[in-house]
Structure 1
Amino acid sequence: MFTFRFPLLVWLGIGILITSLGIRQSFGIFMTPISDYFHTGREFFSFAIALQNLLFGAFQPFVGMAADRWGPKRIIILGAMAYALGLYLTSIAMEPSMMYLSLGVLIGFGLSATSYVIVLGAVAKVVPAQHAAKAFGLTTAAGSFGMFAMIPGAQTLLSIYDWQSAMQIFAVLCSFIVVFAFFIKTAKQGTHHTHHLKEDLQTLEEALKEAFAHKGYWLIHLGFFVCGFHVMFIATHLPSYVLDQNLPASTAAMALAYIGIFNIFGSYFWGAMADRYSKRYVMSALYLVRTVVIAAFVLLPTTELTAAVFGAAIGFCWLGTVPITSGLVRQIFGSRYLSTLYGLVFFSHQVGSFLGAWIGGVAYDFYGSYNPIWWTAVALAFISALIHLPINDKPVPRLDAATA
């Protein structure tokens, strides 16, 4: 075990992630009531969520650069304000097209400034390299509690109030992100270890050139693309898929909640494994587990039991990719520009999220079934397990020279 140098920063980050990602992961619960309210097919809501995820990723590299330059506090506060505004405007929308701005653009920007890339970038600067993946896993795991707490909460709000009121309550919750951000303090210049100071001499342009010339960096992009496809297809469409099997809405909410609670254990487990064993092999193992879990869910009859077991099993390997992916980037290139380099990788994740959320709705409206997308998800999981094997995860020569 290890002790964080700045434990308050870690706990504040956990609070931010619980709120930000908990709200985000509950949006699938709103698909049916919002689609019914506007009398649209599922593709409309799917595209709004897909746009949100695409912009979430598109904003991320620039938000990461801003956080690397000016610190995370201002960026998180600005993002929380955009997030709250997006939720409120969604709640008062009179035309469905309004949601492309509110649910798509504003919340997409808000998420980019209040989620893993910014928080993990701050944590990376205060945690030793040999414990980075474990630290990222702990932060990711605790942040995952938001999914477990918010999804049943969203279902309860919808059973008591209408969906508009539920969105407004979530907008108020964003104020907690602002409060947490006010107390964030990061390490001052000159407090890093010596090799960190040498690392800091690298410019952003040099860091980007170094990363773009590294084959492993692009393979990491491809793997995280697959992760994005999986998580947003499942988060967005699993509730509707379960309802299509004539199961109660509570079953869908519970399946998503199980994803959240088992993700807590899974994220820490995979992060700890990545600190103990080769990160690329651990990532391949994770995607093999995903391949088996998704295939079994599609092949077996969908019941309340299988939905719950699927939620638990897929949750165990849900965001275990986050500590390993960020840990790989940190291990190969160092921590100085982690928010920027990981932000670019996260954009690939969000392109996958865009396609997973949107194509899921397109396929359902066209085929009347989710089965083609489920099997696409199985194939992508197996491919991702393979592409991580040839990654060269050794630190670049610059870091070896700095350490020496």
Structure 2
Amino acid sequence: MLTATRAPQLKTVLLASGLVLTLAMGVRHGFGFWLQPISQAHGWTRETYSLAMALQNLLWGAFGPFAGMAADRFGTARVVIVGALLYVGGLLWMATVSEPTAFIVGSGVLIGAALACTAFGAVSGIIGRTAPEAKRSWAFGISGAASSFGQFLMMPVEQQLISASGWQNAFYILAGLVGLVMLPMAFGLRELPHEKASGPQQSMGEAIREAFAYRPFQLLVAGYFVCGFQLVFVGVHMPAYLKDKGITDPNVAVTALALIGLFNIFGSYYAGKFGSFLPKRYLLSAIYLARAVVISLFLLAPLTPLSIYLFAAAIGLLWLSTVPLTNGVIAGIFGVKYMSMLSGFVFFSHQVGSFMGVWLGGYLFTRDGNYNTVWGIIIALGVFAALVNLPINEKAIVRRPQPVTA
């Protein structure tokens, strides 16, 4: 049972973090819709825009541990405010800059840093510290469902904005929306003072060294690389892939990506719920293996709107269901004191995979004229991730008592 003083704050934290995640992840998931209009407007190849998206994802991961450190030390609210301002700046940059290098670097830095301050890594710590241990996996599932709802909600909105007002004005409108929603929600992420444990306290440096020397953490990092590779490739390149295959109706791609978001709401929620009483490592392994199977069936089946929608629904159930389970494993092993920071390090691996997935998709398409090689890599990586998650030990790490000096 939640205590009387804690229950209202948990509700507030879940609501505020849910709205921040809804917008942060929803806008970001729709960036694939700009690939063709921006490339055509500026005379770029797909590789240029793909590299910009890849750099965004890589820097999102690189900034993640630092955003997590700041959230753990100075509070989540301050970090989210900074992230919201960076997000607005990044969207305006993408709308106005036409020089390729400046577009790639500027949007990569601004959007990457913004996502590090507003997405899972930044808010995981306050959720883990606010929710009781018995409710923690469920709470992570709620936050994952909120981000999934953002994808479901924002996909058609972004496509309609581009169609109705043009790709440039669509960025301006989204920038205003981000500022109006995220900044007020940040104030709902202020933590109540919590008691410190008595005795010697673990420093951030000690927590980092402990985590990276621990085998289960290393395996978790390796598996999360695969998650990023798979999801960002599908999210960014799916609309172009369908058009290349003769599915020229843009509504099919919009509907497919929206279905991914819709079914991911249920996938994330139930992954968090099942993670409360089933071994999280087995659930993670099953998710990665199921992804490999679903993608294989999608590539083997005749490509029709129906097969696309079935694929979207199936992959949606598996989309971000890894997030509550991964965060739950981290909290269970290391505790919640440095939850945001350690989640940031794991997420960096995810974003290295995202960089490779989105950039390699554009590079190999430019080289080969198709995505066949990348699909093969994605399936193989799914099997690899299923195997590396199996031996993870989820039990709390046993720390030796630290000597107390006089």
Q: TM-score range by the shorter chain?
A: over 0.9
Please show how residues 252-331 of structure 1 align to structure 2 within 5 Å: 252-331=253-332
Please show how residues 97-176 of structure 1 align to structure 2 within 5 Å: 97-175=101-179, 176=181
Greater shift in the superposed pair: 103-112 or 48-57: 103-112
Cα deviation for residue 2 of structure 1 reads: 6.8
Cα deviation for residue 157 of structure 1 reads: 0.9
Query: Which residue pairs with 2:70 in the alignment?
Result: 66
CA RMSD of aligned residues (A): 1.7
Matched, 1:347 2:352: no
Letter in 2 for 1:172: G
Residues of 2 paired with 1:250 and 1:118: CA distance? 33
In the superposition, relative to structure 1, how do residues 33 and 203 fare at CA in structure 2: closer, same or farther (>3 Å)? same
SS of the residue 2:263 aligns to: helix
Please show how residues 46-57 of structure 1 align to structure 2 within 5 Å: 46-57=50-61
Query: Which residue pairs with 1:184 in the alignment?
Result: 189
Query: Which residue pairs with 1:76 in the alignment?
Result: 80
Residues of 2 paired with 1:212 and 1:316: CA distance? 30
Cα deviation for residue 198 of structure 1 reads: 4.8
Residues of 2 paired with 1:200 and 1:228: CA distance? 37
Greater shift in the superposed pair: 52-61 or 121-130: 121-130
Residues of 2 paired with 1:102 and 1:307: CA distance? 34
SS of the residue 1:250 aligns to: helix
In the superposition, relative to structure 1, how do residues 2 and 366 fare at CA in structure 2: closer, same or farther (>3 Å)? farther
Contact 2:333 2:396 in 1 (8 A): yes
Letter in 2 for 1:246: G
Deviation digits for residues 18-65 of structure 1 (CA, Å, limit 9, x no counterpart): 111100000011101111111111111100000000000000001110
In structure 1, stretches of 5+ residues that fail to align are 191-195
Query: Which residue pairs with 1:193 in the alignment?
Result: none
SS of the residue 2:276 aligns to: helix
Residues of 2 paired with 1:270 and 1:130: CA distance? 15
Residues of 2 paired with 1:374 and 1:270: CA distance? 25
Contact 2:14 2:142 in 1 (8 A): no
In the superposition, relative to structure 1, how do residues 297 and 121 fare at CA in structure 2: closer, same or farther (>3 Å)? same
Deviation digits for residues 332-359 of structure 1 (CA, Å, limit 9, x no counterpart): 0000001111100000000000000000
Identity in percent: 43
Query: Which residue pairs with 2:209 in the alignment?
Result: 209
Residues of 2 paired with 1:243 and 1:128: CA distance? 47
Query: Which residue pairs with 2:245 in the alignment?
Result: 245
Letter in 1 for 2:313: A
In the superposition, relative to structure 1, how do residues 200 and 323 fare at CA in structure 2: closer, same or farther (>3 Å)? farther
Contact 1:334 1:399 in 2 (8 A): no
SS of the residue 2:197 aligns to: helix
Letter in 1 for 2:175: A
| Length, aligned pairs only | 396
Cα deviation for residue 107 of structure 1 reads: 0.6
Contact 1:199 1:399 in 2 (8 A): no
Query: Which residue pairs with 2:27 in the alignment?
Result: 23
Residues of 2 paired with 1:37 and 1:197: CA distance? 58
Residues of 2 paired with 1:37 and 1:167: CA distance? 15
Residues of 1 paired with 2:137 and 2:33: CA distance? 32
Residues of 2 paired with 1:184 and 1:239: CA distance? 35
Contact 2:87 2:110 in 1 (8 A): yes
Letter in 1 for 2:178: C
1:44 to 20, 39, 48: 48
Q: TM-score, normalised by structure 1?
A: 0.95
Residues of 2 paired with 1:355 and 1:361: CA distance? 10
Letter in 2 for 1:182: F
Contact 1:87 1:102 in 2 (8 A): no
Residues of 2 paired with 1:69 and 1:199: CA distance? 19
Residues of 1 paired with 2:201 and 2:53: CA distance? 40
In the superposition, relative to structure 1, how do residues 212 and 158 fare at CA in structure 2: closer, same or farther (>3 Å)? same
Deviation digits for residues 309-330 of structure 1 (CA, Å, limit 9, x no counterpart): 1111101000001001110000
Deviation digits for residues 230-252 of structure 1 (CA, Å, limit 9, x no counterpart): 11100110010011112111111
Letter in 1 for 2:237: H
In the superposition, relative to structure 1, how do residues 399 and 393 fare at CA in structure 2: closer, same or farther (>3 Å)? farther
Greater shift in the superposed pair: 181-190 or 275-284: 181-190
SS of the residue 1:189 aligns to: coil
Greater shift in the superposed pair: 74-83 or 92-101: 92-101
SS of the residue 1:302 aligns to: coil
SS of the residue 1:276 aligns to: coil
Letter in 2 for 1:261: L
Cα deviation for residue 199 of structure 1 reads: 8.9
